Structure 1
Amino acid sequence: MRILFMSDTHGKHHELQNLPQADMLIHAGDITWGGTVEEVTDFVEWFGSLDYKYKIFIGGNHDFCLEEKETETIQRFLPKNCFYLCNSGVTIENIKIWGIPFFLSDDINGFLPQQIAEIPFNTDILITHNPPLGILDKSTLGANMGDEDLQQRVKKNKPQYHLFGHIHECYGLQKATSTTFINGSVLDENYNLVNEPIVLDL
């Protein structure tokens, strides 16, 4: 299975040209800048039209309007081969995929630790918007911005891939013993489109 991965397009998705071929396309959130319904609709129309067998996306901290919507509500507007994951999973060709958004309301209300605790142990690909602590998560000010609970859960679960974004300046790949971590932010810290979506094989 060949997968094309990206994150943090912030409304600049139409600027992505000549995307590589793959079986599956995954987006790890921040599909919008202002989190409006119009921005989400524009992204969904673009994402749904792309020529990939399977397509998956989650929400990020900029995608405010998704916070109030049930997963089933979003899914009704998507093509059959396109999946919106929100603390939920999908199995595609025996590959188990789990997605966790990063909504500020969940963070403020203290829901994130429980959402992280519910990641299944048999997950092959974990998609989150924010990174785990200490892995591709350092801001330009030098602070590690990742989540410690997420770091510990990934260490226990050992998914083959952990895909995320959020910290634009940490685009790249880092391999550990059991898991390959990828920050797929296509925009840099100044919100310029400078990075390519990343191709991986499972």
Structure 2
Amino acid sequence: MRLVCLADTHNKHHDMVIPDGDILIHAGDCTDGGSKHETEDFLKWMESQMHPVKILVPGNHDFYFEKQENLENLPLSIHTLINQSLIIEYLQFWGSPVTPGDGHWAFNEERGKSIRKYWDKIPEHTNILITHSPPYGLMDDIEKGMKLGCEELKKAVERVQPDYHLFGHVHYSAGLARIKNTTYYNLSQLDERGRIMHSPAIINI
């Protein structure tokens, strides 16, 4: 099974070169301002991709997905995961758009107990974890050196030990790392100036 994975496209999806694959995964910030127009344009684009399965986890810019009435009208061909699981053949996915923050962005939760309740929902046998937020201390540095990742998410990943943890959010730290049984991908496509600097990650399972 071939997974094609990306994040943080911020309305530049039409300029991306998307490889063929079985599952297309977007780990958040498909839009910049989260408007209806931006979101509908992205969803139409994602629907048009040839991958048989499409999975979307919104990000902190994607305000459109916070409203229940909008979720009820999303394309059925796209699996939008908001703190929920999806099983495709033998793989269990779990996705969450939640990021640490002060509430000024979409899906923000305060650090500590408030955000921990979301990570407690991650099933023990998750194969592929998709979050918009990185775990704290891993590919979460901004250019000035501050770490934006989530401490509670780090604990949850260490507990669950998924095969893969896919995320974005911090453009400056795109890349991959393998620690113990988990391979981590920061899938950010753009740099901090909004330029396309990376290609989608390919994962063959």
TM-score by length of 1: 0.93
Aligned-pair identity in percent equals 38
1:4 and 2:4 correspond: yes
Match of 2:41 in 1: 42
Secondary structure at the counterpart of residue 25 of structure 2: strand
Match of 1:107 in 2: 109
**Residue deviations 1:19-77 (CA, integer Å, cap 9, x gap):** 2111101000001011101111110000011000110011111011211226xx53643
Q: What is the correspondence of 1:121-200 to structure 2 with a 5 Å cutoff?
A: 121-200=124-203
Match of 1:77 in 2: 74
| Counterpart contact for 2:60–2:108, Cα < 8 Å | no
Deviation at 1:78, TM superposition (A): 1.3
Task: State the alpha-carbon separation in 1 of the partners of residues 72 and 44 from structure 2.
Answer: 13
Total equivalences in the alignment: 198
Task: State the alpha-carbon separation in 2 of the partners of residues 77 and 57 from structure 1.
Answer: 11
Query: Residue 96 of structure 1: which of 71, 92, 95 is its match?
Result: 92
Deviation at 1:102, TM superposition (A): 2.6
**Residue deviations 1:165-200 (CA, integer Å, cap 9, x gap):** 000011110001110000000001111011101101
The unaligned stretches of length 5 or more in structure 1 are none
The unaligned stretches of length 5 or more in structure 2 are 100-104
Match of 2:52 in 1: 53
**Residue deviations 1:110-145 (CA, integer Å, cap 9, x gap):** 742211111111100000001000111011111111
Task: State the alpha-carbon separation in 2 of the partners of residues 45 and 130 from structure 1.
Answer: 25
Task: State the alpha-carbon separation in 2 of the partners of residues 88 and 136 from structure 1.
Answer: 24
Change (3 A) 1:39 1:4: same
TM-score by length of 2: 0.91
Secondary structure at the counterpart of residue 59 of structure 1: coil
| Counterpart contact for 2:171–2:189, Cα < 8 Å | yes
> How well do the aligned residues superpose, as a CA RMSD in angstroms?
1.6
Secondary structure at the counterpart of residue 115 of structure 1: helix
Secondary structure at the counterpart of residue 199 of structure 1: strand
| Counterpart contact for 1:75–1:83, Cα < 8 Å | no
Change (3 A) 1:179 1:47: same
Secondary structure at the counterpart of residue 116 of structure 2: helix
